[in-house]
Amino acid sequence: MIRTRGLRKVYPTATALHGIDLDVREGELFAYLGPNGAGKTTTIRLLTGLAMPTSGSMRIAGHDMASDTVRAKMSCGVSPQAVNLDRELSAAQNLDIHGRMYGMVPADRKERMDRLLRRTGVLERAHEPVERLSGGYQRRVLIARALMHRPMVLFLDEPTVGLDPSIRRDIWSLVREIREEGTTIFLTTHYIEEAEHLADRVALLREGRIVDVGTPEALRDGLGRWAVDENGDGRTTTYFATREEAAASCAAAGGGLTLRRVTLEDAYLQRTGERIQ
């Protein structure tokens, strides 16, 4: 559904992406995990036509972004990291403008808008100016707007950044529902938990390069299931295949250790020597 080859983006002061090869399958939720500045947003900006690549190719739903831009863009829905809604206008007006932009006829716009606003829980406040809505509601409106024209691929750039944990879980539920309907989702995040909860596959990104791709389980299981941290600096971690082995190690040390499950953060740390958060 998304395919890139040798995708590079060079800015005057830095190289943001060093030749990314991506293959995102139809219907999967693909998470792009890395710390701030790793190149996540740059990748989304290239894939959605907001920026031009220095070199490399991109295909969305089989359409080449360079030579078949209109069809490629028609296949994409984008929920950006920054809330870029018209804040003086209502959620309904924002969605209506989007539908007009994508050539939807009035009856279809109305039907789709009502459905999406109801589904995202915004219907009752659909006619209030967006600036009066909370951050969580605004994020829902962004996702509804991105889905308005029935895209095949939904790009979610840090969809829960700045939201409190309960709202974050609501957004996760919404994202899962969208995925279950068959929409391919490309999600960037620097929240480990988010990628672990939602993703079918995860790409680990560091300084503009993909260091590994796999299911969350596969990425974690290379290390073992359980981890023991030395509490001093929190950076020395030993991995074990079973809980019993890990617990025995803790007992032998006589305290000062923490037993926990292995996370994608461990996988990232092992492959890059750095932490995500």
**Residues binding another protein (CB under 8 A):** 11, 45, 48-52, 61, 69-71, 73-76, 78, 80, 82, 84-89, 93, 97-98, 100-104, 149-152, 181-183
Nearest approach, Cβ of 50 to another protein (angstroms)?
A: 5
In the bound state with another protein, the residue whose beta carbon lies nearer, of 126 and 276, is 126
| C-alpha span between 86 and 71 (Å, rounded) | 25
Nearest approach, Cβ of 36 to another protein (angstroms)?
A: 18
Residues with Cβ within 8 Å of 41's Cβ and at least 6 positions away in sequence, in order, are: 81, 157, 158, 188
CA-angle at 126, arms to 131 and 182, nearest 5°: 105
| Terminal alpha carbon distance of the chain | 30
In the bound state with another protein, the residue whose beta carbon lies nearer, of 40 and 98, is 98
In the bound state with another protein, the residue whose beta carbon lies nearer, of 10 and 167, is 10
DSSP letters of 188-210? EES-HHHHHHH-SEEEEEETTEE
Nearest approach, Cβ of 75 to another protein (angstroms)?
A: 6
Nearest approach, Cβ of 142 to another protein (angstroms)?
A: 10
| C-alpha span between 68 and 202 (Å, rounded) | 28
- Starting at the edge strand found earlier in the chain, the sheet holding 76-79 runs 76-79, 153-157, 184-189, 29-33, 201-206, 209-214
Structure tokens belonging to residue 129: 């100016």
Nearest approach, Cβ of 246 to another protein (angstroms)?
A: 44
Which of helix, strand or coil describes residue 15? Answer: strand
In the bound state with another protein, the residue whose beta carbon lies nearer, of 99 and 216, is 99
In the bound state with another protein, the residue whose beta carbon lies nearer, of 177 and 217, is 177
